[in-house]
Structures are given as structure tokens and as C-alpha cells.
Structure 1
Amino acid sequence: MKVLISGYGNIAQRHILNLLSLTSISELVILRRTNACIEDDYGVNTLVYRDLDTALLQHSFDMALVCSPASDHFSQIETLIKSGVPCFVEKPVTTDWKLAEKLLEIHRDHPTPILLGYDLRYTSGFKAVAELINAGVIGEIWRISAEVGQYLPDWRPNKNYQLTVSSQRKLGGGALRELSHELDYLNGLFKFQLHDLKVNSRNHTFLEMDCENEVQVIANAKVAQQAYEPSIYIALDMLSRKTYRRLKVSGSDMDLIWDLVEQKVKLCSDKMESDIDVTENANQPYINLLKEFVEKVQHHDCDNSPILQGIDVMEFIKLIESKAK
């Protein structure tokens, strides 16, 4: 296979190594902002380009991995889809919902395999939680709480965080887009529709960035599993010095707690407590993602549900931003 990689950050490098373990690659073309040589030896012919159009003019590709800043996603995906190149796209699909909707129209006219990089749906924990919730084990749900906190300077220790995508609004940075995994997995589990939102969005000065680094959402929601509408609490921050990531679903019979850092799912009430071990190698969800993408490419599966998935997330972000104080 001949593969195009747009962007060469940590996630792109992870994807390259995983892809090499899944399929045979004869040529690797890396699109990056500089012409700097790639020091890593991947054992295949590796070329560097600064311009997508030039790369497409001089090469044909079996697939592309779009790991560039979100602000570049729409133009790159549009060009690749119209060229018939299957696309794996890192989150978020675009910077706003209008571009995501337009991308859906382009995909309808140029059906091409596509997949989004929301890896939390591919964890053992997500699978276990989905099975328990859909089985009605915890009773009627009355509250859903999802929280994540990660200290931005620790995300990429070898880089100045102020120069990264995550801290720059124009590149699609900020807590809402960079931590949109929570919005995606919540929608995957509950297919919820939020209403009666109250939002607190802050750019705390402890970090030097021009976009929000903390967002709190309180709302009510319609969910797929029941008629009763539970309350929702979502907290995203890029400031917590100790990383945490957890989901708590409170039901009429018991609580379900998914600790994504400890990789444990717990069912508990005043009468019982049961732990479910969902431990796996931290790289496994990324492998699962790319394995599905490779299979989509091999079978020319042009399903547009990944774009619809991305649109759902962007519509949530639009709604939250419209209510932000």
C-alpha cells in the first residue's frame, strides 16, 4: 500500500507504527509544514512534502491518515475524497458543524471509505459499559456525569504547549474540541439530545492560550434507553495536574463508574460492589481503529456514518458554545 500521512505529531507517529503492524506498506508520504527529513526509520521508502496537491500530482495513494490541525481538515479531506483516496481522520472531523455538513454532501457525491479517530469507542471499557447500560442492569438512569482533566503542558512534553494546536483557537484548539472524545462516547452510549443547558466556559490564565481551557455543562437530556430524562454533567479541563477521566451513571438500582485511567468498570450500591477488569494495552484501541479502517478500505466500504458521527459532535459543540458564558 502507498500511504499519505498529513501531519507528523505524536498521534501520526503512533498511527504509522500501528499501520505497519497491520498491513504491508510500500511507500510512505508525509505531509508536514517543513521539509525537514524524517529521522525515524520505518523500513519503507519515506518521502516528505509540504503541499498536498503536489503530493497527489506525483503519487497515487491507497489511503490517507489526516492528523493535521483541525483547521486544515476540511480542505484536505475534500481534496482527498474528490481524488478517491480513503481517509482516516483524527478528531474533530472539522472545526465547525457547517463544514462537517458540507463534507457530508461532498462524500455523497464522491463515496470513499472514511473513519474518525475517536478511539474511546474502541476500548474494552466502552464495550463493557455499553453492554451493561443497554441490559438495564443499573435500573432507570437519573444522572450521567462525565469528567476529564489533563494538564496541557504534559500532553507533549517535548514541545512548548503554547505553540501546539491545543492552545490555539485558529487551529481548532481548546478544551471543547481537543477533549471532544467525551462528547463522542456519551453520544455513542446514550444517543442523547441535550436541552436546558447551562454552560461555564473559562480561559484560566494559569496557561497561556487564546481559547477555553475549562468547560462545565449542566443539562437535561433525552436518551435512547428510556423515556425518563436524566440530568447531565460534563466537565472538561486542560489544567488538572493529575490526569483523571471517568464516567458515572447513576441508576435507580445502582451506580456504574467507569474509570478510564485505571481501566476499571464498577457496579455499586449500598448492598453490593462489583469490579469489572477492562485492562488492555493503551495502544490497543488505536490498533482496533486502524484495523477497522484497513478493512473498510479493502472492502471499499463507503458508509457515511463516521461523518454523521463527527457532525453529532460538532453540533454538540455548537450548542455548548451558544450557551457559554
Structure 2
Amino acid sequence: MDVLFVGLGSIGTRHLNNLHEIGRRRGIPVHADALRSGTRPLREGAAQLLRNQYTSVEQLPPRYDAIFITNPTSMHRDTLAALRGRAETLFIEKPIFDDPDADLAALGLADDQGQKAYVAAPMRWCGTMLALKEKLPGLRPYSARVICSSYLPDWRPGVDYRTVYSAHRDLGGGVTIDLIHEWDYLVELFGMPLESYNLRGTYSDLEIDSDDLSVYIARYPSLLAEVHLDYFGRTYRRTIELFCQDGTVTADFGAGTLTLADGTVERYEEPVNERYLREMDYFVTYALTGTGPSVNTPATALQVLRLTLGKA
């Protein structure tokens, strides 16, 4: 499997490691190149997993089995334009863009243009979420309450939070789209809401210029949903509560538990990387043998982005 990575920060390096691990498990040789814009040293072990490092598009081979777009969100559109037609399948890190009005057709990414593409959605692949999705048809929720609260300086140990894209609006940072995972999984669970309202801004003492709090309320045909996202919670919380006919069902993605209406606690604790490995296993199958649309197409991802930004 010949692949190209554009962007080898923390998430790109994770995907590079996981791609090699899935290739090893499945007996699929992986040959990975990198297109780099600078000479900053790569993260430990990454260089050993690369075949070649290039500094310009003109140096690249004409075609890859897959290209991973894992550079900052603000660069996705220009990168995709520069690499159009060079990949059988695209893996695009979330959020797909920082511009909700991006023209997918101009990039060859519209549903009817034939480009295979998957936009990252790792929350869909965690053990607790998979268990919740299996039980959802029998739950009949009246209301959903979602929270993702965490402390941005703790996200990347040893890295000054003020220097990462999350802290800067012009790099695509801000809790509203940085934590697009929550809306991604809500849309997968319940579809697009009939209407939604959002208030957001910067309220904490963090030294950032991006929004650190975003709160939504949304209406579905049979339920209301509340969503709370922040960068300043000192105690990590990532949960969805479903208030149902028979009681409350709570999926705690941090603890890896699913608490049912009768109080039964099912446990799905696992290392965080397991969800990324499941996602990569899916992507490898889709890239090599899949036909038709992926489970998260660019069109769907852009629709979720528009919803997240109040443009839907």
C-alpha cells in the first residue's frame, strides 16, 4: 500500500504508526512518503516509518493508493487542490475545512465525482460508542445532553498550548470546531436536527484567541439535544446522557462505561488508541477494496461543519 502523509504532527504521526500496525496485522506492506513544508525534526520513530520525504508536489510520484491530509485545518483546502487526482482514496483529518462554504466540486470531492474519501471520525469507533449504537434502537430517548469539558493545556503534555493550532482562530482552532466530534456522533446517532442555536466565545483566562466555550440547543422530531463544549474544565468529562422512557442511559467515553436505565454498568475501558486502530482498519479496507461512499463522506463532514458553526 503506497501512501503519502501531508502533516506529521501528533495526529498525523498517530495515523502513520497505526497504519503500519494494521498493515503488520493484516500482512499488507505499507510504503509511506511524507510531503513536508519544513525541516523541523519529526516525532520520535516517525522517520523510520517513511520511505521518502519530499518538499514539493513536483517531486511526488504521480499516484498513491491513499493520501492522508493531516496538516492544520486551515491548510486542507489548498493541500487538496494541489494534490487533486493523485490518490485513489483520501483520508482527511477532521474538521474537513475551516470554511463552511468551501466548494467540494471545485476540489473533486462532491459525491458524484467519484473520488473515494473518508473524513476522520474517531469517536464513532470507541468501544463505548459502538455499544451505545447497538442499544440505541430500543432506548426511545426524549432528550440528549452532551458535554465535552477538558483543559487545553493538558491536551499535549510537554507542549506549550499557546503554540498549537487549537489556540489560534486563524489556524482553524477553537472549541467549536476542534470538538466537532460531538456533533459528528450526534448526527450519526440521530441525523441532522430540524433547527439548532449556538452561543460561543472566549471566557476563560487561557492565553488564546479562539473560542473556549460553545453551547448549543437543537431540536429533533422526537427529542431536544443540549451540547456543551469547553477548553477550561479541569476535570475531564466526555459523556452523553439519554433521558429515555425507562430511565437515563449514560455513555461516559472517558471512563469507558455505559450505564443503563436500570443502573447496570457495562465496561468498555480501553486505551484511547484502540478507537484510532479500528478507524484505520476500516480505512485500509475501504481504500483497498471498498466501493461507493465512505461512512463519513466529505459532503457529510461539510454538513456537520456547517451545523457546528451555525450555518446549516
TM-score (norm 1): 0.86
- 1:307 is matched with 298
Separation in 1 of the partners of 2:304 and 2:156?
24
- 1:225 is matched with none
> Quick one: which of 270, 273, 277 aligns to 2:267?
277
Distance 1:215 1:295, change over 3 A: same
Give SS of 2:58's match: helix
Unaligned runs of 5+ in 2: none
After superposition, give the CA deviation of every residue in 1:281-301 in whole Å (9 maximum; x if it has no partner): 321111111111111121153
Whether 2:233 is the aligned partner of 1:240: answer yes
Cα distance, 1:104 vs structure 2: 7.5
**Contact 1:35-1:49 at 8 Å conserved across structures:** no
Separation in 1 of the partners of 2:228 and 2:176?
10
The percentage of counterpart residues that share the same residue type is: 23
- 1:174 is matched with 174
> Quick one: which of 34, 54, 58 aligns to 2:58?
54
- 1:143 is matched with 143
Separation in 2 of the partners of 1:108 and 1:78?
17
> Quick one: which of 262, 280, 284 aligns to 1:290?
280
After superposition, give the CA deviation of every residue in 1:11-34 in whole Å (9 maximum; x if it has no partner): 111111111112245543223331
Give SS of 1:243's match: strand
Letter in 2 for 1:242: T
Cα distance, 1:88 vs structure 2: 0.8
Give SS of 1:143's match: strand
Separation in 1 of the partners of 2:186 and 2:43?
39
> Quick one: which of 49, 60, 75 aligns to 2:78?
75
**Contact 1:100-1:311 at 8 Å conserved across structures:** no
Separation in 1 of the partners of 2:240 and 2:43?
40
**Contact 1:141-1:249 at 8 Å conserved across structures:** yes
Give SS of 1:86's match: strand
Cα distance, 1:205 vs structure 2: 4.3
Give SS of 1:206's match: coil
Cα distance, 1:83 vs structure 2: 2.3
Aligned residues: 306
- 1:34 is matched with 38
- 1:89 is matched with 92
Separation in 2 of the partners of 1:278 and 1:10?
25
Cα distance, 1:66 vs structure 2: 1.1
After superposition, give the CA deviation of every residue in 1:213-259 in whole Å (9 maximum; x if it has no partner): 1011123223xxxxxx3221100001111211000010122111000
- 1:208 is matched with 207
**Contact 2:9-2:43 at 8 Å conserved across structures:** no
Give SS of 1:193's match: coil
Cα distance, 1:141 vs structure 2: 2.1
Separation in 1 of the partners of 2:253 and 2:42?
33
Give SS of 1:22's match: helix
Letter in 1 for 2:170: K
Separation in 2 of the partners of 1:190 and 1:39?
38
Whether 2:223 is the aligned partner of 1:230: answer yes
After superposition, give the CA deviation of every residue in 1:137-157 in whole Å (9 maximum; x if it has no partner): 3xx422110000111111112
**Contact 2:146-2:226 at 8 Å conserved across structures:** yes
Separation in 1 of the partners of 2:284 and 2:130?
21
Separation in 1 of the partners of 2:59 and 2:151?
36
**Contact 2:149-2:233 at 8 Å conserved across structures:** yes
Separation in 1 of the partners of 2:173 and 2:69?
16
Separation in 1 of the partners of 2:87 and 2:50?
23
Unaligned runs of 5+ in 1: 223-228
**Contact 1:26-1:45 at 8 Å conserved across structures:** no
**Contact 2:4-2:68 at 8 Å conserved across structures:** yes
What is the RMSD of the two structures over their aligned residues, measured on CA atoms? 2.3
**Contact 2:81-2:107 at 8 Å conserved across structures:** no
Separation in 1 of the partners of 2:245 and 2:50?
58
Distance 1:39 1:290, change over 3 A: closer
- 1:317 is matched with 308
Cα distance, 1:59 vs structure 2: 5.9
Distance 1:40 1:78, change over 3 A: same
Cα distance, 1:316 vs structure 2: 0.7
**Contact 2:74-2:172 at 8 Å conserved across structures:** yes
Separation in 2 of the partners of 1:37 and 1:150?
29
